[in-house]
Amino acid sequence: MRFFLSSTFIILIGCTPYPKKMGYDQSTSTSVQITNPYFSDADHDYVYKAGITFFDKQFGGILVIKKIKENNHRVVFTTEFGNTIFDFSFKDDDFKVNRILKEMDRKLLLNILEKDFRSLIKEHITPIDIYKNENKSLIKTQNRSKKYYYLYESDTLTQIARIANQKEKVVIKFSKISNNIVDYIQITHSNIKLQIRLTAI
């Protein structure tokens, strides 16, 4: 009986909703239009020096993100010499691989990259719930059955977290932000040893 109770207790703690665990209370305010403004200017070339840690391997290169038109982005990764490693198009819900180095053409890897970049560039977000903690808002949304929480600090988007079983699976952190340009982005996976660091150039 005692074992059953303590197990239940552990399960209950484990099931604490993510916002509550992070110290947020549900807000009664009705939803407003939420946007991720960081890749929304079609006149701007978003160019980043990228560092990728995958298990014990380190890779570097240049990541280029361009908004072609509404709900349509190109994401291209090249070596420092300029050779294209991969080239993706995101158009509405479609994902197209224009080019990928044969060694990297693996379904599993493509799925991860698609999800990460889609989260990174998705501009218009429909909130499901809004949580507040002082000047911070945590906004719950859903995309293709996955749950995401957008963190706004004083109305600035600073983090996007993909949550499963109330735990962070992938966290995208935005820092060094000015005029809707993010100078540093860090994408960290917790279930695989993968981290992508992007520094604006």
Partner 1 sequence: MLFLVKAVTAQTEMTSAEAQALRTLVKEKAALTKTILSDFTQYKHLDFLSNDIESNGKLAFQAPDKVLWQYSAPFSYSILFKNEKLYINDNGNKSDLNVGSNKLFKQLNQLITASINGDMFISDEFEIDYFKTDDSNIVHFTPKDAQFAEFIKTFHISFSKTGEVTRVKMIEPSNDYTLIIFYNRIENKAIPDAVFSQ
List contacts with partner 1 (CB under 8 A).
43-45, 47, 49, 51, 58, 60, 62, 64, 66, 68, 74, 76, 78, 80-84, 87, 98-99, 101-102, 199, 201
Distance of CA 193 to the CA centre of its chain: 16
How many CB atoms are located within 10 Å of the residue 35 CB? 14
- d(CA 167, CA 16) in angstroms, rounded, equals 10
Residue 47 or 177 having the CB closest to partner 1: 47
Amino acid identity of residue 53, one-letter, is T
Cβ distance to partner 1 smaller for residue 49 or 147: 49
Q: Which is nearer to partner 1, 77 or 149 (CB)?
A: 77
Q: How far is the CB of 36 from partner 1 (least distance, A)?
A: 20
Instruction: Give whichever of 68 and 128 is closer to partner 1, judged by the CB atom.
Output: 68
Cβ 102 vs Cβ 84: under 8 Å: no
Closest CA to 36 of 196, 137, 174: 174
Which amino acid is residue 114, in one-letter code? E
Report the nearest approach of partner 1 to the CB of residue 154 (Å): 30
Nearest distance from residue 19's CB to partner 1, in Å?
36
CB of 4: closest distance to partner 1 in angstroms?
A: 51
Asked if 168 contacts 161 with a C-beta cutoff of 8 angstroms, the reply is: yes
- Residue 174 C-beta: closest distance to partner 1, Å: 20
* Residue with Cβ nearer partner 1 (66 or 122): 66
Nearest alpha carbon to residue 67 among 88, 48, 46, 97: 46
